[in-house]
Structure 1
Amino acid sequence: MENVLLGALEAGGTKMVCATGFADGTVVESEQIPTTTPAETAAACAAWFQDKGIAALGIGAFGPTAVNPASPRYGQILKTPKPHWSDFDLLGALAGPLGIPCGYDTDVNVACLGEATFGCAQGLDTVLYLTIGTGVGAGVLSSGNLMHGMMHPEAGHVPMKPDPRDPIATDSSCPFHPSCLEGLISGAGIKKRWGKSGGEMADEPEAMDILAGYLGQALAIYILCYSPQKIIIGGGVADHTPIVELARPKAAEALNGYIVTPEMDDLEHYIVRNSLDGQQGIMGCLELARRALEQ
Structure 2
Amino acid sequence: MVAIFLYNILLIVLYSITLAFAINAYLKERKKVFLFISLYLAFFTFDNVIIYMTEFINYFAHSYDQAFMSAPAIKTIIFMGNAFLAISILAEIRKEKLTIFHYVLLVFLAIWMISIPMLPNSAIKVWLYYLPNQLFLLFLAFYCWQGTKKKLAPYTSGLLKKLAGINLLFSLLIILEDNFVIFNIDQYSSLTTKIYNRSISEDIFSIVICIVLLQFFLKERSPQTSTINDHSVMIRQFCQDHQFTQRESEIFTLLLLHHSNQEIADELFLSLGTVKTHVHNIFIKLNIKKRTQITILFESYQQHYHEKLA
Length-normalised TM-score, structure 1: 0.25
More strand by share: 1
Length-normalised TM-score, structure 2: 0.24
More helix by share: 2
Structure whose alpha-carbon radius of gyration is higher: 2
